[in-house]
Amino acid sequence: MQTLPYGFEHNPFIIFTFLAAPAILTNACTLMTLSTGNRLARSIDRMRSIASAITAGQAGPAMLSRELAIEQFRPASHRCRVLIRALRACYLAVGSFAAGTCIAILGATLGYFQHEGAARLCVVVMLAVCSFGMLSIVYAAVNLVRETTSTLEMLRAEARGIITTVPSLAGPKG
């Protein structure tokens, strides 16, 4: 009698060990995707406020002057593009990890029914798909760091502009 691979003869629930990593990574990437989507929405709102301050000549958020709005337009536009790249990468990662989970289920099932060749192929495909997901999430994280740096630069420029406009905010001189 041939024994079942992966210890299935003792514990058929061992299949869940194949699912743990891709399923947890899917959940983590989904949360990252949600926060990135929120950041993109805020970035788009900011971009619209800046565009409104430039085109209408009105003050934007926090009494944003037209000159400061013009200075911030390109960085704000760049910030939106970086966030869109990060969001795309997050979606690719979520899809990759979800596909990896489904492939792991298929591979575990094939292994249980003693289709070792097909089960091994599923393992290879799952590893490739999940590796692509990991690269995607790293790419998204790099873009989120770039976006955070860009946002910090914009906030510094805005603070400088406000301090220039309202000198009493600069603090005591001495």
The structure's pTM equals 0.79
49 within a domain of the structure (yes/no): yes
Rounded to whole angstroms, how far apart are CA atoms 44 and 21? 34
Q: How confident is the model at residue 84 (pLDDT cuts 50, 70, 90)?
A: very high
Residue 74 has pLDDT above 60, yes or no: yes
Of 17 and 86, the structure prediction assigns the larger pLDDT to 86
pLDDT of residue 159: 84
Binned at pLDDT 50, 70 and 90, residue 44 comes out as very high
In a domain, 146, yes or no: yes
The answer to the question of residue 3 being in a domain is no
Total domains, the chain: 1
Residue 98 lies in a domain: yes
Give the integer Cα–Cα distance in Å for 101 and 23.
Answer: 6
Within 8 A by CB and 6+ apart from 163, the residues are: 169, 170
Asked, for residue 63, whether it belongs to a domain, the answer is yes
102 vs 4, which has greater pLDDT? Answer: 102
Confidence of residue 9 (pLDDT cuts 50, 70, 90): low
Q: Is residue 5 part of a domain?
A: no
Torsional class of 62: left (φ above 0), alpha (ψ -120 to 50), beta (otherwise): left
State residue 173 phi and psi, 5-degree precision: -100, 140
Residues 1-20, mean pLDDT to the nearest whole number: 58
Classify residue 4: in a domain, yes or no.
Answer: no
Let me know how many helices (H) and strands (E) the chain has, helices first: 3, 0
Domain span at residue 77 reads 14-164
Task: Return the SS3 of 2.
Answer: coil
More confident residue, 88 or 58: 88
Residue among 117, 120, 122, 12 at smallest CA distance from 4: 12
The rounded mean pLDDT for the chain is 84
Span 106-163, pLDDT tens digits:
988 888 888 989 989 998 999 999 999 999 999 999 999 999 998 998 888 888 877 8
Q: Would residue 2 count as lying in a domain? A: no
Express as a percent the part of the chain with pLDDT over 90.
43
Mean pLDDT of 72-76: 89
Say how far apart CA 51 and CA 54 lie, in whole Å: 5
